[in-house]
Structure 1
Amino acid sequence: MAVEITFQHASNAIVEYVPGRRRARSAGLITWRDWGTEFATLFTPKMVYRWQRPAREGGAWTGRTAGLSRGEPSHIPNPLGVVPLVELQNRSRLHGPPRSELATVLPLQDAVNTLWAHLMTASDGLALPARAVLGMDRPVREILDDTGEVVGEEDLPLDKFRSDRLLWLEKEGASIAEFSAADLDNYLRVIDKAVEHIAAQTRTPATYLTGALINVSADALAASEAGLVAKVTERQRHFGSALREIMRLEAMANGETGRAESLSLGGVIWRDPQFRSDSQYSDALVKLKAIGVPDEALWERIPGVTPEVIDRWKAMRDDQATAILGGNMAGLFGPKPEPDQDQPEDPPAEAA
């Protein structure tokens, strides 16, 4: 039976810990909804309880029947003996629940959204210059009766003049005035400052949020990413123990008790969170080699190199060493050529 590792959203899963022990899990609960039915699974070290109920009507939970094979009970013993639900805590604290990355910047993001809405509203009526006719009456149209006599007048709609782009001034002293467009850059300047505050509080490079990258040197770009790299490194320490526990549970589910014990004392190896070019990696590895760092340790620092690739490199290095010690120098560059059968052999040398 294959073991499957899945991730659950934090709003659908919760883990309960033993009082006084922050890593000992006493229970775990996951919930989800499928069409018109709500499902829930409660994990304890001894049992696995599975329930369901109608989503619209609500009501009491009953033992699960949908999705289970015929004759399988709703509640079964836990074969692992531990809660198979591990919490990946972000910014875990000694007191209180973990704190979200977005909690400190949500007010600033709301301010940016409000300012952007005001900008869009102002652009509808104030982004273009407005013109007004001074010293003239509104255009009117005469109202005639059945005999053709003028009995009144009514205002003409201005939409016709606006669409035809036609206007004439007949009254003496009439003129056209213009109101300049509003300066909407004030909104943009405030939004830019709010984005800078968001970048500073989240330790995110400002270029990631604004996309502005002009004449920036490699050293300056690396310095701008130093805060983000430090934050990622900090998160690796928090998530490492949880991921190690997940892999230990996977080994236990596969019946590999020896690997499970090794994983309980092992550590998680993360890729370098800082981006470096190939030349930078090569220069760093050459300097580490000069002070005596073994080749295997250097290979592990190369991005994208897996343990399988390292094992293959070791085997290739051993084959090269064997070829050198055995005098097979041609074996270093490929198979040796076969002797030509048609070419006659050299005659034996005459005895002196």
Structure 2
Amino acid sequence: MVYRWQRSARNGGRWTERTSGLARGERAHNPNPLGVVPLVELPNRSRLWGKPRSEIATVLPLQDAVNTLWAHLMTASDGLALPARAILGMDRPVREITDPDTGEVVGEEDLPLDRFRSDRLLWLEQQGAQIAEFSAANLDNYLRVIGVAVEHIAAQTRTPPSYLAGKLVNVSPDGFAASEAGLVAKVSEKQRHFGSALREIVRLEALAQGETGRAESLSLGSVIWRDPQFRSDAQYSDALVKLKSIGVPDEALWERIPGVTPDEIERWKTMRTDAAGAILGGGIAALYGPKPDPADQDDDQADDELTGAA
């Protein structure tokens, strides 16, 4: 069933059966035209017992550690990233407090150091005063620990390190492909488990469109995935030529070409059949373009004769 509900702000925000449209013959509750609940689960790491597991459940502690170290790094960079200077052997600068009526000194207060920081000037009048310096904190220790944690995250999630670090320096194609081997295997595993759920989604779409025949055909079909590993056109061509050499049919090779649709494959089959018919019928020249019209050839020949006579 399909249950229709509504909530009005004037009714205290409570849910009630939807009554709008009932005058047109609509009902608050209607039979479900699909016959099934239109929700499909795509479970991640599904198991025979227990709930599916999140893909990032195992790396959440490491991610929390990276966030904590990054917060410490920001805090340290705010207060300890620059050298600090100290004055030794001198009293803190103060200024006298005088009575506005009598002009007598009644006390003293510390002189704010903001002026010295802004003007970057300081007078040392006391004998033996000197300036010492504290070196800035080394923040590389935080970065090294964060880098190691990121490498562990990449290893546990089978993510290529270049995806997280963003550094590619003098990496060979074979080395880059090897670094993506874990991710490609992971995606291939997801394709195997998500295929049935996606097939059910498409079947429900056909039922929603009222195409019961197509829905029944889709329930017996299979999901065809694209190759998860990126390869250049030269690599695909070389692989297809080698498969052809061991007797793999052309139709099977065409299906392996990225981006090729079944309609294109059917068109290629028709073109191959037409080419074979032209060869058997003696019209090989038709394969290289339309044949010239004899009338056009006679006109061209007459034009050439007139040009020669002139």
Return the TM-score normalized by structure 2. Answer: 0.87
Matches within 5 A, 1:229-268: 229-268=184-223
SS at match of 1:181: coil
Q: Distance in 1 between matches of 2:110 and 2:207?
A: 87
Q: Distance in 2 between matches of 1:159 and 1:307?
A: 75
Give the corresponding residue for 2:72: 118
Q: How big is each residue's C-alpha offset from its partner over 1:190-234, in whole Å with a ceiling of 9 and x where there is no partner?
A: 111111111111111111111122222212211111111111111
Which structure would you say has the larger RCO, counting Cα contacts within 8 Å and 6 or more residues apart?
2
Q: Distance in 2 between matches of 1:192 and 1:120?
A: 16
Note if 1:187 corresponds to 2:110.
no
SS at match of 1:340: helix
Amino acid in the other structure paired with 2:34:
L
Using a 3 Å threshold, how does the CA distance of structure 1 residues 193 and 330 change in structure 2: closer, same or farther? same
Q: Distance in 1 between matches of 2:137 and 2:70?
A: 15
Matches within 5 A, 1:1-352: 47-53=1-7, 57=12, 59=14, 61-65=15-19, 70-145=24-99, 146=101, 149-338=104-293, 339-342=296-299, 343-344=301-302
Q: Distance in 1 between matches of 2:130 and 2:22?
A: 84
Unaligned runs of 5+ in 1: 1-46, 346-352
Once the 2 structures are TM-superposed, how far is the Cα of residue 188 of structure 1 from its aligned partner?
1.1
Q: Distance in 2 between matches of 1:266 and 1:232?
A: 21
Using a 3 Å threshold, how does the CA distance of structure 1 residues 150 and 70 change in structure 2: closer, same or farther? same
Q: How big is each residue's C-alpha offset from its partner over 1:268-290, in whole Å with a ceiling of 9 and x where there is no partner?
A: 11001111111111110000011
- Which sits farther off after the overlay, 169-178 or 330-339? 330-339
Q: Distance in 2 between matches of 1:265 and 1:299?
A: 23
Higher strand share: 1
Once the 2 structures are TM-superposed, how far is the Cα of residue 54 of structure 1 from its aligned partner?
5.4
SS at match of 1:200: helix
Unaligned runs of 5+ in 2: 304-310
Higher helix share: 2
> How many residues are paired up?
298
Residue identity over aligned pairs, in percent, reads 81
Q: Distance in 1 between matches of 2:267 and 2:217?
A: 24
Using a 3 Å threshold, how does the CA distance of structure 1 residues 65 and 281 change in structure 2: closer, same or farther? farther
Q: Distance in 2 between matches of 1:176 and 1:121?
A: 26
Q: Distance in 1 between matches of 2:112 and 2:74?
A: 28
- Which sits farther off after the overlay, 64-73 or 129-138? 64-73
Amino acid in the other structure paired with 2:240:
L
